[in-house]
Structure 1
Amino acid sequence: MSAAASARTILTSLHEIMASRTHAQAKLNQVVETIGESLDSEVCSIYLLRDGMLELFATRGLNQAAVHVTRLAVGEGLTGTIAQNIETLNLDEAATHPEFQYRPETGEEKFHSFAGVPIVRRERAIGVVNVQHIEPRKYEEVEIEALQTVAMVLAELINNAGLVDDVDLEAGTQKLTGQETAEGLKLVKGLALGEAVFHQPRVQIEQTVAEDTEAERQRVYLAFDRMREQIDNMTGQAEFGVGGEQEQVLETYKMFAYDEGWSRRINEAIDSGLTAEAAIERVQQRTRMRMREISDPLLQDRMHDLEDLANRLIRIVSGQLGTAAQKGLSKDTILVAKNLGPAELLEYDKRRLKGVVLEEGSLTAHVVIVARAMGVPVVGRIRNLRGLVREGDTVLVDGDKGAVTLRPGQGVLSAFETRFARKREKQAAYAKLRDVEPFTRDGERIEVMMNAGLRDDMSMLAVTGADGIGLYRTEFQFLVSAALPQRERQARLYRDVLDAAKGKKVVFRTVDIGGDKQLPYISSENAKEDENPAMGWRALRLALEREGLMKVQARALLEGSAGRELNVMFPMVSEPWEFDAAKEVFDSQLAYLKKRKHQLPSCINYGVMLEVPSLAEQLDLLLPRLKFISIGTNDLTQFLFAADRANPMLAERYDWLSPSILRFLARVVQTCVGQPVDLGVCGEMGGRRLEALALIGLGIRRLSITPAAVGQIKELVRKVDTKEIGDAMRGWLASPPPDMRAALTEWAEAREIEVD
């Protein structure tokens, strides 16, 4: 018998039980008998969450005296593990599981096989339904799927009967009054103030068992048509630019919307006897369970896109279309959501949407890429978010610190407003420097360039007055694409970027994937077992292994730069031979294009990112082959200190102004003195005023930083005397003070140089 047929048989009986006039306990007693008989299982038990404990409410096969007596904590025993992890267990020998716990009052010692599924409501386990068998055997997949479908219907029965306290269904029990601050993950920087608006109210499924299967199927077909039409319309929004990264994000999103496997699974759930809404929710629950088993953050983000689509589909089919975007925003808004799909973010009025707070979220998520392009601050990973905030609460979002303040008091509001006003004033002052060249007091010209990775970032070049793009992260195009971007598409992007630069210098870094930037369509046997991905098979190492990947990008860069200067930078070069191997790929593609009479770049300059300390030991050997070097301070710091910057315990432990870092940089600068090589720093270090002051003192004359920092660094440069700070830095490095940061701050303040 198929899973759908098994579930349909049980659901038909459950429908009759639910329609009867007996009390809730009698209904549960009938339910366990029905499930046990249908699955030919000696035992069927239902545990429900009451007062924070899982209580045995009904059983067939175990001692009846244990009902309402046996209680397990969430996480205790097999049943508690299922509830805690919201996962399914299927064991041929229950006692072999590490979490197995024997309860003598149940009389279950003679049963060997065990299967259990969580009873889920509002994405939380409110109970568990278990089956057991004397013979050691795993339950068939069709039986497990039937059990999962039944658990979904049970959730409605249990809720309607009031068997589980409402407090257990909500995100938390705190009284939502008074000021509260929550720390999260910095996803998109910036400050924002507004009223909390929930992205979407939870769609409550009123009926789970279908009366007419074909009618439910037609409802789903119509909903799919409407959803796909919405996605197609979004893809064509002109304001986000043809060929932009947002369009590529939506193309990936569209791929999921047209996925036949997804629609087939929903149809199978309808075949089992569920309504259209319940069938979508049933498949969505299975998706969530799979997500918990996926460790790859990029694949988790793609699953979030599917979750977003499922939410959209269930709202369409139920007629409950009231998302905050569709209702419209009337005030300055901070959007609150568990997670958010990129398409849904694009639906909001950007004039009113000031910030986003997510319960989940990650740096590689599609929604973060879109939010950054929109200039909307985002903080993620706020645990228990829906339990902390109410609709209409005042919310302060500090994307710079990754903090959210809920219902702030007047003092905090005033301080925030002061900080916000000061930031606006500074931005206005920095904007006046847009067309001013950054010369120091003693006449040294410092190049202040900006980093970019999205086509839309290029508009900031004119806004900030940066000298050019010191780092264009070409991997962003790969990260937002559903499949490997074709050569023509890559070339078009590079051509558009150079057009937008209007003659200013652009440095293209070849694709830096791997590590925390995994692509589902590119896998490497060498990367699978990486215990420390940041130091593993990534960047140039991966590109040289995947020679086809680098060949395509090399030709795309050469074609996209036809008739203009091309600056190519290779990431994570550890030894000179790696640079030579990468350049050879470009040389071969250049010869190919030349042979076929293609227009070539007017000149090609090659450079490296100095991120791996080993390269510094052989830099003198490589210098004759280089036009420029960019010191990548983000990776360099973690490699020098053996401290993974993704580890929150280490993120703030090591200071960029440590003598270790500064002495290393000074040695690199000294190696390049007298050589025809342009040396600069690329990374967050150069965008901080005090750190930038130190870098200038070391002899660095080119900084490539985030666009938001360009104005303030240009302003800083105009207050600095390079000889004076250079002398001070040499003294400090020869005999380091106890606190380099304090010494440098004191030096700056004595000269009225603001370094905050």
Structure 2
Amino acid sequence: MASFTLQGIPVSRGIAIGRAHLLRPAALDVQHYLVAQEQVEAEVRRLQDAITQVHKELQAIWSDLPQDAPTELGAFLDVHALILSDPMISEAPLDIIRNRHYNAEWALVTQIDVLSAQFDEIEDDYLRERKADIQQVAERVLKVLTGSAHSLPRAEGIDERSANMIVVARDISPADMMQFRDAAFNGFVTDEGGQNSHTAIVSRSLGIPAVVGTGNASRLIEQDDWLIIDSDAGVVIVAPSPLVLEQYRELQARLLKARKKLLKLKKTPAVTLDGVEITLLANIELPDHAIAAVEAGASGVGLFRSEFLFMGRTGHAHKLPTEEEQFTAYRAAVQAMKGRPVTIRTLDVGADKPLDTTDHNILNPALGLRAIRYCLAEPQIFMTQLRAMLRASAFGPVHILIPMMAHAFEIDQSLAMIEQAKAELKAENKKFDADIHVGAMIEVPAAALTLPLFVKKLDFLSVGTNDLIQYTLAIDRADHEVAHLYNDIHPAILQLLHMTVTAAEKAGIPVAICGGMAGDRRLTRLLIGMGFRELSMPAALLPEIKQEILNTNLENLQPHIKKILRSYDPQIIQDVVASLASVA
């Protein structure tokens, strides 16, 4: 077989070498037929029985989780169980069977197509990719209906070389991933997914090389093909030559040795060669992630994406998490951090997010009623969340982070609602931190251009680089046709970052970066050279960013940083940023 290469999205680090094991989706070839009226209720029961069986499977997988399983895996199982219980999955397909007489498989796929179309309209990368959870849950039910449930080969009884297995699939559900801990696998390749897909999140937490979004890998790769995953470059080499295979084996050994060395840095403070301390924080989506953050040596949580708590709850407002549910989740994260600060971002959803099934008909949801705009338009939802956050602050340091700020009245109204929440809790004799810090995400260019207004009224700033880049460069991150224009070192972005850190320094308030740039080792010297002293990223990336800081002399970077900020020529900026890596 001739060797060929596939390009995808790199979502973790490292090299994987092994044989392809293909997971075929059950939904590709479901039968489509009409059932007779007298058979309708029997068909309904067939789907109900399949859903019940999948519930039992998820519970069994949960019960069998080893103690050293990443916390993300259990959390994703919970999300899948919630999705399976949601009426949009458990009841709507039954109505399709009764009303249209579709067979169970057809009814389920029809309903999933409707839900998937709704998720495609979501602007936010992270939430849009939650569509994959719904599809994965449905696929699990389809496997039961069609009798095509698969099992992965075990490692026992086969030699070490052939034991290395790389899973290739259209997409991979977290529930399927549970099997991989007992299987002989060391990498993932998927057709679908992006930086925030569950395959990406779990592969990063496990430290396993993965390339997602290849488009058609599962159709081009054959069972047992030799594969090389270069997850730093986002490349999959199929049927490599013996020479290429040997070269990658040597590279793999070097990377493994370097990774083991990095783990020794956990307790080492992140201080530059010339004595400047940098605070490294973790981004989390669930309370359990805080445990992994502590294990990785994080100095706190720089971004708790609270919207994850609102996922899998389609329907009306009474299905949203209650104050008590939110309080319990926030408190768990705060207690897990053992005195380290936890920055919780208020709900970053809006008219484009799946909190209800109403069709808002928004042309561009990225510019619509989202984040703080949504919260101020739904004061009951906002007040419930603020009360829960304040109550959690009685158990450790909590900071409230408000996204998508752009107007003075948004700051004033948010602060007024926080004061109202404090007054209510005080009247109820419930404890909270009266001096809780409140900050704004700088992700709209208007905010970066009116920073004096922000630093005057708020306690800290946090730059969301992903959205700042999207809004500044007028690029929809969900649109693959303009993805090549997404440039984190565009001169306009660097000027806005420089303005933000300068304004914060002048006001004497902290400023962090919690977007994707913070976890990119190639940009670490640029960011700390510009003056950023707090970086927040996925916990798994902390060791390599810390190593970069430990090897950096900030004073020696300054001439290069000044050259970057004086230039508006993209090529000059790119060349100087690349040269920072070699500054002694």
Q: TM-score, normalised by structure 2?
A: 0.83
Aligned to 1:391: 223
**Other-structure match for 1:197:** 21
1:333-383 deviations in whole A, cap 9, x for unaligned? Answer: 322333444433334435634333333446666666666655555544444
The aligned counterpart of 1:104 is: none
Q: Which residue of 2 aligns with 1:474?
A: 306
Aligned equivalent of 2:544, options 705, 712, 731? 712
1:463-612 matched pairs, under 5 angstroms: 463-481=295-313, 483-514=319-350, 518-521=353-356, 525=360, 528-531=361-364, 533-601=365-433, 603-612=435-444
Offset at 1:693?
Answer: 1.2
Deviates more, 1:537-546 or 1:248-257: 248-257
SS in 2 for 1:395: strand
Residue 494 of structure 1: how far off its partner (Å): 0.8
Aligned-partner Cα distance in 1 for 2:276–2:32: 74
Alignment correspondent of 1:184:
8
Which residue does 1:613 correspond to in 2? 445
For 2:60, the equivalent position in structure 1 comes to 233
Of the three residues 520, 525, 541, the one matched with 1:688 is 520
Q: Which residue of 1 aligns with 2:276?
A: 444
Paired AA for residue 598 in structure 1: K
More helix by share: 2
AA aligned opposite 1:717: I
CA contact (8 A) 2:187 2:209 kept: yes
Aligned residue identity for 1:519: P
Stretch deviating more after TM superposition (478-487 or 550-559): 478-487
| CA–CA distance in structure 2, aligned partners of residues 679 and 648 of structure 1 | 31
Worse-matched range after superposition: 482-491 or 380-389? 380-389
The aligned amino acid for 1:530 is L
Q: Which stretch shifts more, 603-612 or 447-456? A: 447-456
Which residue identity is paired with 1:511?
L
Listed one character per residue, the Cα deviations across residues 89-114 of structure 1 (whole Å, up to 9, x for unaligned) are xxxxxxxxxxxxxxxxxxxxxxxxxx
Point out the more displaced range, 580-589 or 664-673. Answer: 664-673
Query: Could you give the per-residue CA deviations for residues 270-307 of structure 1, whole angstroms, max 9, x where no partner exists?
Result: x89xxxxxx33443564576578654465854651453
* Kept after mapping to 2: 8 A contact 1:197/1:334: yes
Secondary structure of the corresponding residue to residue 562 of structure 1: helix
Shift of 1:713: 2.2
Moved more, 190-199 or 429-438: 190-199
Q: Does 1:250 align with 2:81?
A: yes
Q: Which amino acid aligns with 2:576?
A: A
Query: Could you tell me which amino acid in structure 2 is paired with residue 229 of structure 1?
Result: K
Aligned AA for 2:242? Q
* Alignment correspondent of 1:32: none
Would you say how many aligned residue pairs link Structure 1 and Structure 2? 559
State the one-letter code of the partner of 1:180: F
- Measured in 2, the distance between the counterparts of 1:223 and 1:659 equals 55
Q: Is it true that 1:745 corresponds to 2:567 in the alignment?
A: no
Check 1:653–1:586 CA distance in 2 against 1; reply closer, same or farther (3 A cut).
Answer: same
SS state at 1:432 partner: helix
Looking at structure 2, the residues matched to 539 and 698 of structure 1 have their Cα atoms a distance apart, in angstroms, of 28
Report the Cα distance in structure 2 between the residues aligned to 1:534 and 1:615, rounded to whole angstroms. Answer: 16
Go from structure 1 to structure 2 and tell me whether the alpha carbon gap of 1:404 and 1:630 turns closer, same or farther (over 3 Å shift).
Answer: same
Contact 2:20 2:165 in 1 (8 A): yes
CA–CA separation in structure 2 for the residues paired with 1:427 and 1:232: 34
* Runs of 5+ unmatched residues, structure 1: 1-176, 273-278, 752-756
Shift, 1:542, TM fit: 1.4
Q: Amino acid of the residue matched to residue 587 of structure 1?
A: E
Change (3 A) 1:263 1:360: same
In structure 2, C-alpha distance between the alignment counterparts of 1:504 and 1:404, rounded to whole Å: 40
How far apart are the structure 1 equivalents of 2:80 and 2:30? 30
Normalising by structure 1, report the TM-score. Answer: 0.66
Task: Indicate the residue corresponding to 1:721 in structure 2.
Answer: 553
Aligned equivalent of 2:159:
none
1:450, 1:468 within 8 Å by CA — same for their partners in 2?
yes
**Distance 1:216-1:539 versus aligned 2 partners, 3 A rule:** closer
Distance 1:220 1:636 in 2: 45
Write the distance in 2 (CA, Å) between the matches of 1:729 and 1:460.
34
Equivalent residue in structure 1 for 2:478, among 646, 649, 652: 646
For residues 206 and 488 of structure 2, the distance between their equivalents in structure 1, rounded to whole angstroms, comes to 30
Query: Which residues in structure 2 correspond to 1:137-176 (within 5 Å)?
Result: none
Secondary structure at the aligned position of 2:518 is classed as helix
SS in 2 for 1:629: strand
RMSD of aligned alpha carbons:
3.7
* C-alpha spacing 1:361/1:724, structure 2 compared with 1 (3 Å): closer
Structure 2 distance, partners of 1:206, 1:264, is: 18
Q: Distance in 2 between matches of 1:562 and 1:521?
A: 32
Structure with higher RCO (Cα < 8 A, 6+ apart): 2
Change (3 A) 1:493 1:555: same
CA deviations on 1:43-69 (whole Å, 9 max, x unpaired) are xxxxxxxxxxxxxxxxxxxxxxxxxxx
AA aligned opposite 2:77: Q
Partners in 2 of 1:618 and 1:209 — Cα distance? 61
Higher gyration radius (CA): 1
1:324 paired with 2:151, answer yes
The equivalent of 1:156 in structure 2 is none
For 2:493 and 2:512, locate their aligned partners in 1 and report how far apart those are by CA, in whole Å: 15
> What residue identity is the alignment partner of 1:560?
A
Q: 1:626 aligns with which of 446, 458, 462?
A: 458
How far 1:232 sits from its partner (Å)?
3.9
Match of 1:116?
A: none
Query: Partners of 2:30 and 2:400 in 1: how far apart?
Result: 55
Write the mapping of 1:204-283 to structure 2, written as runs, cut at 5 A: 225-234=52-61, 236=63, 239=66, 244-255=75-86, 259-263=90-94, 265=96, 279-283=103-107
> In 1, distance between residues paired with 2:522 and 2:64?
42
C-alpha separation in 1, matches of 2:40 and 2:532: 71
